[in-house]
Structure 1
Amino acid sequence: MSGSYSLPDVLDRIYHNQLALEAAVMELTLWVEQQGCSVVGNNVRGALEEIGENAGHIKQGLARLKSKGLG
Protein backbone atom coordinates (compact mmCIF):
# COMPACT_ATOMS: atom_id res chain seq x y z
CA MET A 1 0.00 0.00 0.00
CA SER A 2 1.49 3.31 -0.99
CA GLY A 3 0.36 6.83 -1.62
CA SER A 4 -2.06 8.95 0.33
CA TYR A 5 -4.24 6.00 1.31
CA SER A 6 -1.62 3.89 3.04
CA LEU A 7 -2.60 2.45 6.40
CA PRO A 8 -0.28 4.77 8.36
CA ASP A 9 -1.59 7.81 6.47
CA VAL A 10 -5.21 6.90 7.17
CA LEU A 11 -4.44 6.20 10.83
CA ASP A 12 -2.53 9.48 11.05
CA ARG A 13 -5.58 11.36 9.77
CA ILE A 14 -7.80 9.55 12.29
CA TYR A 15 -5.31 10.51 15.01
CA HIS A 16 -5.45 14.17 13.97
CA ASN A 17 -9.25 14.04 13.95
CA GLN A 18 -9.11 12.65 17.48
CA LEU A 19 -6.93 15.57 18.59
CA ALA A 20 -9.30 18.07 16.99
CA LEU A 21 -12.32 16.48 18.66
CA GLU A 22 -10.48 16.44 21.98
CA ALA A 23 -9.81 20.18 21.68
CA ALA A 24 -13.43 20.90 20.75
CA VAL A 25 -14.76 18.86 23.66
CA MET A 26 -12.39 20.66 26.02
CA GLU A 27 -13.75 24.01 24.84
CA LEU A 28 -17.28 22.80 25.54
CA THR A 29 -16.17 21.47 28.93
CA LEU A 30 -14.79 24.87 29.91
CA TRP A 31 -18.06 26.49 28.90
CA VAL A 32 -20.12 23.93 30.84
CA GLU A 33 -17.98 24.49 33.93
CA GLN A 34 -18.44 28.25 33.61
CA GLN A 35 -22.18 27.61 33.68
CA GLY A 36 -21.76 25.92 37.06
CA CYS A 37 -21.94 22.27 35.99
CA SER A 38 -18.78 21.07 37.69
CA VAL A 39 -19.96 17.44 37.92
CA VAL A 40 -20.41 17.27 34.15
CA GLY A 41 -17.06 19.00 33.68
CA ASN A 42 -15.31 16.46 35.91
CA ASN A 43 -16.91 13.55 34.04
CA VAL A 44 -15.82 14.91 30.69
CA ARG A 45 -12.31 15.61 31.97
CA GLY A 46 -12.05 11.95 32.98
CA ALA A 47 -12.99 10.89 29.47
CA LEU A 48 -10.54 13.40 27.97
CA GLU A 49 -7.76 11.98 30.12
CA GLU A 50 -8.41 8.55 28.62
CA ILE A 51 -8.44 10.04 25.11
CA GLY A 52 -5.08 11.66 25.83
CA GLU A 53 -3.56 8.40 27.01
CA ASN A 54 -4.87 6.58 23.95
CA ALA A 55 -3.52 9.30 21.68
CA GLY A 56 -0.03 8.59 22.99
CA HIS A 57 -0.36 4.90 22.17
CA ILE A 58 -1.73 5.67 18.72
CA LYS A 59 1.16 8.02 17.97
CA GLN A 60 3.71 5.40 19.07
CA GLY A 61 2.03 2.77 16.91
CA LEU A 62 2.08 5.10 13.92
CA ALA A 63 5.78 5.75 14.43
CA ARG A 64 6.45 2.01 14.45
CA LEU A 65 4.46 1.45 11.27
CA LYS A 66 6.29 4.27 9.53
CA SER A 67 9.69 3.04 10.73
CA LYS A 68 8.93 -0.38 9.21
CA GLY A 69 8.41 1.27 5.85
CA LEU A 70 4.64 0.85 5.80
CA GLY A 71 3.97 4.53 5.32
Structure 2
Amino acid sequence: MPNNSDSNIATADALTLLLHNQHALGAAIEEVTKWLSENGLEAVAENAVVAMKTLDANASAITDVITRLRQL
Protein backbone atom coordinates (compact mmCIF):
# COMPACT_ATOMS: atom_id res chain seq x y z
CA MET A 1 0.00 0.00 0.00
CA PRO A 2 1.46 3.40 -0.93
CA ASN A 3 2.26 5.83 1.82
CA ASN A 4 0.33 9.08 2.19
CA SER A 5 2.92 11.05 0.26
CA ASP A 6 2.67 8.72 -2.75
CA SER A 7 -1.12 8.86 -2.57
CA ASN A 8 -1.08 12.65 -2.35
CA ILE A 9 1.20 12.89 -5.37
CA ALA A 10 -0.99 10.51 -7.40
CA THR A 11 -4.13 12.40 -6.40
CA ALA A 12 -2.55 15.76 -7.22
CA ASP A 13 -1.39 14.42 -10.61
CA ALA A 14 -4.88 13.14 -11.42
CA LEU A 15 -6.47 16.42 -10.36
CA THR A 16 -3.96 18.33 -12.49
CA LEU A 17 -5.03 16.33 -15.55
CA LEU A 18 -8.69 16.99 -14.77
CA LEU A 19 -7.90 20.68 -14.37
CA HIS A 20 -6.25 20.73 -17.81
CA ASN A 21 -9.39 19.14 -19.23
CA GLN A 22 -11.51 21.74 -17.48
CA HIS A 23 -9.44 24.54 -19.01
CA ALA A 24 -9.82 22.97 -22.46
CA LEU A 25 -13.58 22.72 -22.02
CA GLY A 26 -13.70 26.34 -20.90
CA ALA A 27 -11.80 27.42 -24.01
CA ALA A 28 -14.16 25.44 -26.23
CA ILE A 29 -17.23 26.93 -24.54
CA GLU A 30 -15.71 30.39 -24.96
CA GLU A 31 -15.32 29.83 -28.71
CA VAL A 32 -18.90 28.59 -29.01
CA THR A 33 -20.12 31.53 -26.93
CA LYS A 34 -18.38 33.96 -29.26
CA TRP A 35 -19.98 32.31 -32.28
CA LEU A 36 -23.41 32.36 -30.63
CA SER A 37 -23.10 36.07 -29.86
CA GLU A 38 -21.97 36.88 -33.38
CA ASN A 39 -24.94 34.98 -34.80
CA GLY A 40 -27.69 36.65 -32.79
CA LEU A 41 -28.13 34.06 -30.07
CA GLU A 42 -27.26 36.30 -27.13
CA ALA A 43 -29.54 34.52 -24.64
CA VAL A 44 -27.85 31.18 -25.32
CA ALA A 45 -24.45 32.86 -25.18
CA GLU A 46 -25.30 34.29 -21.76
CA ASN A 47 -26.07 30.77 -20.49
CA ALA A 48 -22.68 29.63 -21.78
CA VAL A 49 -21.01 32.50 -19.92
CA VAL A 50 -22.64 31.30 -16.69
CA ALA A 51 -21.24 27.81 -17.35
CA MET A 52 -17.77 29.30 -17.90
CA LYS A 53 -18.00 31.16 -14.59
CA THR A 54 -18.76 27.86 -12.86
CA LEU A 55 -15.78 26.23 -14.55
CA ASP A 56 -13.56 29.12 -13.44
CA ALA A 57 -14.76 28.95 -9.84
CA ASN A 58 -14.26 25.19 -9.69
CA ALA A 59 -10.86 25.43 -11.36
CA SER A 60 -9.78 27.80 -8.63
CA ALA A 61 -10.89 25.36 -5.92
CA ILE A 62 -9.20 22.43 -7.68
CA THR A 63 -5.97 24.42 -7.94
CA ASP A 64 -6.08 25.09 -4.19
CA VAL A 65 -6.51 21.38 -3.45
CA ILE A 66 -3.65 20.44 -5.78
CA THR A 67 -1.39 22.96 -4.04
CA ARG A 68 -2.30 21.62 -0.59
CA LEU A 69 -1.73 18.01 -1.65
CA ARG A 70 1.69 18.83 -3.10
CA GLN A 71 2.72 20.57 0.14
CA LEU A 72 1.93 17.54 2.33
Q: TM-score, normalised by structure 1?
A: 0.86
**Counterpart-to-counterpart distance in 2, 1:36 and 1:24:** 19
**Counterpart-to-counterpart distance in 2, 1:50 and 1:17:** 14
Q: CA RMSD in A?
A: 1.3
Equivalent residue in structure 1 for 2:25, among 21, 24, 43: 21
Q: Percent identity?
A: 32
Q: Which has the higher helix share?
A: 2
Render the CA deviation track for 1:28-52: whole Å, top value 9, x for unaligned.
1100110000000001101111110
Which residue is 1:51 aligned to?
A: 55
Q: TM-score, normalised by structure 2?
A: 0.85
Unmatched 5+ stretches in structure 2? none
Q: Which runs of 4+ in 1 moved over 4 A?
A: none
Unmatched 5+ stretches in structure 1? none
Task: Work out the number of aligned pairs and report it.
Answer: 66
